[in-house]
Structure 1
């Protein structure tokens, strides 16, 4: 019930003026109901997989072995080192440029010193020539690099015949690292033929490294390792001889033309 604020008369619902005093009646403001705001539900939490503290390398847990350590290990403990090599990803550039080229430079430099600086004695006469030393050095270097590549190619080509894994990268690893003793023995070229027996023994040790590495690198069955090695070495000797003749002829023609031009 409402009453006029001026005269106190009772007012009916909906009147705009007081019937007694005529005072306009102001409509009471009705409280507005709150507008219901749409409530957005909270977003569900995004699941994040826990991140490992480290990432496992694709090829095992092998660390990058420097050249000197690799040379020492492959010579002194080949069985353990082949397993380390097997856990590494083959890299043709690193194998040829970062390892083979450096070690193949040993016999090349030794040849230059022998023929270009020390000289070779025949019948009491010593012959030495800087040009000849460079020529022999180049032949040694090119023969070593091309030879190890051919060895890898032969190993990979023969792999299926001996139930072995056909993978040129692995074959190159086997060829490069097993040739390490022969490259190191290249320093003996300075002494000439007097060390030929020692060079032969070192060559046999290189064959041993090849045989030890085949079951690990090429997954060759043990009963087929000997046959695999023998056939590989025979093919390698024949092809290396042919390649050495070709390289020697090419380098000889080059230096011969240079000397005639002089």
Structure 2
């Protein structure tokens, strides 16, 4: 499944048609694609925050302790996997409205492939820098939304106008999931599991 990553960036229309023709189990999908790609931002953030840190106005770098960076990375990794599963389940549920009948595994595959730019963009966390992170993050989100709107009609084999409405619903739910994850993070940090800094 990793071979689809390049295609999603070079010729997304054709790649979505190829992906539509495949049928994978959820376990195989997670083992060969989701678990690997979701690890990119988590591992990058661990290395970046514990080894390089980030600087503010020419001061010494701010670093997390290894234990804290590991905890934060594992929690973000789990949140990404859960988020993908939730989005796939929503796409599966919503597909009935548009007379599409994809399996749950195919819907999770769609959610995973759509989120690929966000996973790849996570490489920027290797060297934490606010402005670079914001620029790469904005580009990754923009391309993810593009993949969603281009890919959903093709993947679900529905008309473009219905695909636009379907994609807009998925985007709205994605934003709700993101806000829920952020709220859960604040609550967890409030319970004493927040970041621990060196020095």
Smaller-chain TM-score bracket: 0.7 to 0.9
Name the structure 2 match of 1:117.
Answer: 51
Q: Which residue, out of 161, 168, 171, partners 1:233?
A: 171
How much is the aligned-residue C-alpha RMSD, in angstroms? 2.3
1:191 partnered with 2:128: yes
Alignment partners' CA distance in 2, 1:149 and 1:172? 6
Name the structure 1 match of 2:140.
Answer: 202
Deviation at 1:252, TM superposition (A): 7.9
Alignment partners' CA distance in 1, 2:54 and 2:128? 10
Residues 240 and 251 (structure 1), Cα distance of their counterparts in 2 relative to 1, 3 Å cut: same
Name the structure 2 match of 1:177.
Answer: 113
Q: Which moved more, 1:149-158 or 1:189-198?
A: 189-198
1:164 partnered with 2:122: no
Q: Following TM superposition, where does structure 1 have runs of at least 4 consecutive aligned residues deviating by more than 6 angstroms?
A: none
Equivalent residues in 2 for 1:4-43, closer than 5 Å: none
Name the structure 2 match of 1:102.
Answer: 36
Q: Greater relative contact order: 1 or 2 (C-alpha under 8 angstroms, separation 6 or more)?
A: 2
Alignment partners' CA distance in 1, 2:176 and 2:106? 23
Deviation at 1:110, TM superposition (A): 1.2
Secondary structure of 1:206's aligned partner? helix
Alignment partners' CA distance in 2, 1:253 and 1:115? 21
Q: Would the aligned equivalents of 1:165 and 1:220 in 2 still touch at CA under 8 Å?
A: no
Cα shift readout 1:103-148 (whole Å, capped 9, x = no counterpart): 1111001111121111233563533121221122112211211111
Unpaired stretches in structure 1, ≥5 consecutive residues: 1-65
Alignment partners' CA distance in 2, 1:245 and 1:169? 28
TM-score of the superposed pair, with normalisation by structure 1: 0.65
Alignment partners' CA distance in 1, 2:162 and 2:22? 24
Structure holding more helix per residue? 2
Q: Name which one, 1 or 2, has greater alpha-carbon Rg.
A: 1
Unpaired stretches in structure 2, ≥5 consecutive residues: none
TM-score of the superposed pair, with normalisation by structure 2: 0.84
Alignment partners' CA distance in 2, 1:87 and 1:95? 14
Deviation at 1:173, TM superposition (A): 1.6
Deviation at 1:183, TM superposition (A): 0.3
Alignment partners' CA distance in 2, 1:111 and 1:252? 21
Name the structure 2 match of 1:22.
Answer: none
Name the structure 2 match of 1:218.
Answer: 156
- Count how many residue pairs are aligned between Structure 1 and Structure 2: 191
